[in-house]
Amino acid sequence: MWTQDEAGPYQALPQPGPSWQPEGQPVRHPHEYVRGGTAKLLTLFRPATGEVRALPVARAPNAVLHPWLTRELEAILADLPVPPARPIPPVPLRPGWCGRRGRLA
> Could you give the angle at the alpha carbon of 12 between the alpha carbons of 33 and 58, nearest 5°?
115
How is the chain split into domains, by residue range? 1-11+35-80
Closest to 46 in 3D by CA, of 82, 76, 70, 81: 76
Cβ atoms within 10 Å, residue 42: 20
Per-residue pLDDT of the chain (105 residues; tens, 9 = 90+): 899 988 888 877 766 666 677 778 777 776 676 677 788 999 999 999 999 999 989 888 999 999 999 999 999 999 989 888 888 888 777 766 655 555 555
Q: State the alpha helices, DSSP H only, in the chain.
A: 62-79
